[in-house]
Homo-oligomer: A and B are copies of this chain.
């Protein structure tokens, strides 16, 4: 746990838990629905596994997380106290959207963007059963420019190598542009018009693709 502030103020008591690096981002991942260790890691790629482990222990000790085992299956779930933190995460996210300004180049991460988009696919907006979307990012480092989302009724997979299936539609995008769209700071329509993003494929897919991805960030900043 973090050091005590020696204050009786509830804000101080709360911040004793949350003023340590990564802690609230772990909570964010749990609020977003991740439950397994390596699932959490994918949402927190720059966090070392040992530190994630430490944080999960701390959050468990604080009564925010419960480690649930079922056979070999291990999941981390929020307790009622943890679920109540959604209000804190939301308040921080709302403030961050409004006031943190333009993203730095170091904040752009195709892998993380794909991971976040993949878990917010709105299947009901997709007019076919199985769709393969290829993403090509300009302005991303070599080796993380090409990605595929394989969307089936049951699941959505992220691949960084060609999965082999025939691609249904291709998105070519400036990494920053697509990130800003995802954050709700830019419109698909504007980005397509300006050429920052291009969609290639059958017209029905091309037209509906922007609605396949239901960004919780954009929903938040507009709501």
Contact = CB atoms under 8 A, between A and B. Distances in A.
A104 interface: yes
A100 B4 contact: no
Nearest to A12: B25
Contact of A8 (B15, B46, B92, B107): B107
A32 to B, nearest CB: 10
A13 interface: yes
A39 to B, nearest CB: 16
A97 B84 CA distance: 12
A10 B217 contact: yes
A81 interface: yes
A92 B21 contact: no
A183 interface: yes
Interface in A140-189: 179, 182-183
Nearest to A84: B95
How many copies of the shown chain assemble into the complex?
2
Interface in A81-117: 81, 84-85, 87-100, 103-104, 106-109, 112-113, 116
19 contacts: A4-B104, A5-B46, A6-B46, A6-B106, A8-B109, A8-B112, A8-B182, A9-B25, A9-B116, A10-B220, A11-B93, A14-B93, A14-B96, A14-B100, A19-B24, A81-B98, A84-B98, A87-B91, A90-B91
Nearest 10 Cβ contacts at the A-B interface: A10-B96, A14-B96, A13-B100, A91-B91, A81-B99, A10-B97, A14-B92, A88-B91, A11-B93, A10-B93
